[in-house]
């Protein structure tokens, strides 16, 4: 199976609702696509995501049932489920700090000021945002509003704002996965119709984890694409200033 160029993969990708039950997909290729997924850009490089790759027939059936056995789930050969893990922010901060220190030690041109600035960002600034509860988040929001009267400020400082940020990062990684799958000639369908509590139990996820989406994987049938691709006119969404 020949790989497609990025532009070709984007054109090839469709939300496939019915997968071919006679055609299997290689779990190693799907895993490689997940490896491509985590190369996605993400906020502060915290990588607050996890990906669950469901391959066993028993688990696939459980996930399909939790997705109401909709066609894209019932006919899927495998699933990949991106999970949002905002609760891991302390661990991810520590990983970034360790990486910065390691890179600094290996560098011949040691810029102590740059190193301290980077570490300060992770150890002082990010904890104030990610560690804020509802009350502190609103206090940050109000303080930011007044600071912003006279200068440019970062305004997404509430707890709910950070939840949106982490979901955006996870969605970027999911898009990488979709395009990578298409590049390998495999099909996908992103689903938001599922029982999140049941899936969290199947995956044994902690309460703080959130399911971004469920992605069914397989190979399309002609009936699997429900119609021609529709997008609103480009001039309704594209603005050049």
SS3 of 84, please?
Answer: strand
Residue 54 is predicted with a pLDDT of 98
Residue 26 is predicted with a pLDDT of 98
Instruction: Clarify whether residues 67 and 95 are in a common domain.
Output: no
Altogether, the residues listed in the chain come to a count of: 241
Question: Token digits for 149?
Answer: 């009267």
Instruction: Clarify whether residues 81 and 13 are in a common domain.
Output: yes
Higher per-residue confidence, 135 vs 15: 15
CATH number of the domain that residue 232 is part of:
3.40.109.10
- Note whether 212 and 174 are within 8 A (CB): yes
Instruction: Clarify whether residues 18 and 81 are in a common domain.
Output: yes
Residue 1 is predicted with a pLDDT of 58
Our count of domains for the chain comes to 2
41-50, 77-86, 137-146, 166-175: which range is least confident on average? 137-146
Q: In the structure, what pLDDT confidence band is assigned to residue 147 with cuts at 50, 70 and 90?
A: confident
pTM > 0.75: yes or no: yes
Instruction: Clarify whether residues 48 and 73 are in a common domain.
Output: yes
- DSSP for 4-61 reads PPHHHHHHH--B-SSB-TT----HHHHHHHHHHHTTS--GGG---EEEEEE-SHHHHH
Q: Please give the Cα distance from 168 to 158 (Å, whole number).
A: 16
Residue 33 predicted with pLDDT over 70: yes
Instruction: Clarify whether residues 68 and 178 are in a common domain.
Output: yes
Angle between helices 112-120 and 89-106 (to 10 degrees): 170
Q: Residue 31: what are its φ and ψ, rounded to 5°?
A: -60, -40
Instruction: Clarify whether residues 73 and 102 are in a common domain.
Output: no
Residue 140 is predicted with a pLDDT of 83
* pLDDT > 90: percent of the chain: 83
Residue 210 is predicted with a pLDDT of 98
Which pLDDT tens digit goes with each residue over 64-123?
999 999 999 999 999 999 999 999 999 999 999 999 999 999 887 788 899 999 999 999
Instruction: Clarify whether residues 60 and 175 are in a common domain.
Output: yes
Beta strands in 136-186 (DSSP E): none
Higher per-residue confidence, 160 vs 82: 82
Query: In the predicted model, what is the mean pLDDT of residues 22-34?
Result: 98
Which pLDDT tens digit goes with each residue over 199-233?
999 999 999 999 999 999 999 999 999 999 999 99
Instruction: Clarify whether residues 108 and 82 are in a common domain.
Output: no
Residue 154 is predicted with a pLDDT of 82
Instruction: Clarify whether residues 130 and 95 are in a common domain.
Output: yes
Query: In the predicted model, what is the mean pLDDT of residues 144-168?
Result: 89
- Average pLDDT, rounded, for the chain: 94
Q: Within 13 Å, how many C-alpha atoms sit on residue 175's CB side?
A: 11
Residue 2 is predicted with a pLDDT of 66
Domain boundary (160, 185, 205) is at: 160
Domain hosting 105: range is: 89-160
Which pLDDT tens digit goes with each residue over 188-200?
999 999 999 999 9
């Amino acid at each position: 199976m020949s790989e497609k160029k990025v532009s070709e993969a984007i054109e090839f990708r469709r939300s496939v609702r019915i997968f071919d039950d006679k055609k299997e997909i290689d779990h190693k290729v799907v895993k490689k696509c997940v490896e491509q997924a985590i190369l996605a850009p993400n906020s502060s490089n915290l990588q607050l995501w996890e990906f669950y790759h469901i391959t066993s027939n028993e688990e696939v059936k459980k996930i399909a049932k939790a997705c109401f056995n909709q066609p894209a789930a019932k006919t899927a050969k495998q699933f990949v489920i991106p999970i949002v893990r905002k609760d891991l922010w302390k661990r991810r901060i520590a990983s970034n700090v360790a990486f910065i220190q390691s890179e600094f030690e290996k560098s011949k041109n040691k810029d102590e000021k740059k190193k301290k600035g980077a570490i300060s960002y992770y150890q002082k600034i990010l904890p104030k945002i990610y560690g804020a509860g509802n009350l502190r988040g609103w206090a940050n929001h109000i303080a930011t509003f007044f600071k912003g009267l006279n200068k440019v400020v970062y305004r997404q400082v509430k707890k709910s704002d950070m939840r949106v940020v982490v979901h955006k990062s996870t969605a970027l990684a999911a898009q990488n996965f979709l395009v990578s799958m298409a590049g390998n000639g495999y099909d996908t369908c992103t689903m938001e119709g599922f029982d999140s509590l049941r899936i969290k139990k199947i995956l044994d996820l902690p309460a703080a984890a959130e399911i971004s989406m469920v992605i069914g994987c397989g190979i399309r049938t002609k009936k699997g694409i429900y119609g021609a691709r529709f997008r609103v006119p480009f001039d309704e969404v594209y603005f050049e200033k």
